[in-house]
């Protein structure tokens, strides 16, 4: 049973006790022969309700103590997991940053290589030789949209690491 459920039951029992005490005071105020039987029954019901309330209060206190002890352990585990997550995110940021740096280097190298290939190709063709084309002309299927998404992810992750 949860603490919320225990509190709800205690509130219901308290309301039932008040209701029965109200009935008891009304019945005790009347001078009626049938009330002689009703009075002990109501007092007994009130006593039983008080006992049940006491039992629930004790159970609630035990449960509360258990939860308070569990909270410390759960919080410690949670904070450790958050710290580990932060470390992993930092590693991921570093790797992503290096990856983006390498992509830029390859793009620059590709431009330079292509720029140097043009005169080589022209001279080879003038000599009627077939030029060797060994360089890449672009990053295979790594278009600007993907790079932009990776940069956006990197910025998001870096923001969280820097908090």
pLDDT of 134 over the 80 cut: no
User: Tokens at residue 117, please?
Assistant: 């290939």
Instruction: Identify the pLDDT of residue 105.
Output: 87
103 vs 19: CA distance, rounded Å: 78
**How many independent structural domains does the chain possess?**
1
Q: DSSP for 14-55?
A: HHHHHHHHHHHHHHHHS--TTHHHHHHHHHHHHHHHHHHHHH
Provide the pLDDT for residue 11.
Answer: 97
DSSP codes, the chain: --HHHHHHHHHHHHHHHHHHHHHHHHHHHS--TTHHHHHHHHHHHHHHHHHHHHHHHHHHHHHHHHHHHHHHHHHHHHHHHHHHHHHHHHHHHHHHHHHHHHHHHHHHHHHHHHHHHHHHHHHHHHTT-PPP--S-SS-TT--HHHHHHHHHHHHHHHHHHT-
- What are the tokens at 23? 């009935």
Mean pLDDT, range 80-104, rounded to an integer: 92
Q: State yes or no: pLDDT of 102 exceeds 70.
A: yes
| 161 contacts 86 by C-beta, under 8 angstroms | yes
Single pTM value for the model: 0.56
Whole-number Å distance between alpha carbons of 89 and 117: 41
Mean pLDDT (the chain) is 89
pLDDT mean over 103-110: 85
The boundaries of the domain holding residue 51 are: 3-161
Choice between 26 and 33, residue whose per-residue pLDDT is larger:
26
What distance in Å separates the CA atoms of residue 19 and residue 27, rounded to the nearest whole number? 12
pLDDT at 74: 95
Residue with tokens 């019945």, as numbered in its chain = 27
The better pLDDT of the pair 90, 111 is held by 90
Residue with tokens 């620059």: 108
* Structure tokens that stand for 3 in this block: 């603490």
pLDDT at residue 131 is higher than 80: yes
């Amino acid at each position: 049973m949860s603490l919320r459920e225990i509190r709800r039951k205690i509130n219901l029992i308290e309301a039932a006790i008040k209701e029965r005490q109200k009935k008891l005071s009304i019945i005790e105020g009347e001078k009626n022969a049938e009330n002689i039987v009703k009075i002990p029954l109501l007092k007994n019901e009130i006593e039983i309700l008080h006992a049940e309330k006491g039992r629930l209060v004790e159970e609630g206190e035990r449960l509360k103590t258990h939860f308070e002890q569990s909270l410390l352990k759960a919080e410690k585990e949670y904070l450790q997991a958050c710290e580990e997550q932060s470390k992993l995110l930092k590693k991921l940021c570093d790797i992503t940053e290096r990856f983006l740096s390498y992509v830029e280097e390859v793009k620059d190298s590709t431009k330079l290589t292509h720029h140097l290939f043009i005169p080589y190709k022209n001279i080879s063709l003038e000599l009627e030789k077939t030029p060797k084309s060994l360089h890449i002309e672009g990053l295979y299927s790594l278009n600007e949209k993907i790079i932009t998404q990776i940069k956006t992810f990197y910025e998001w992750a870096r923001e969280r690491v820097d908090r």
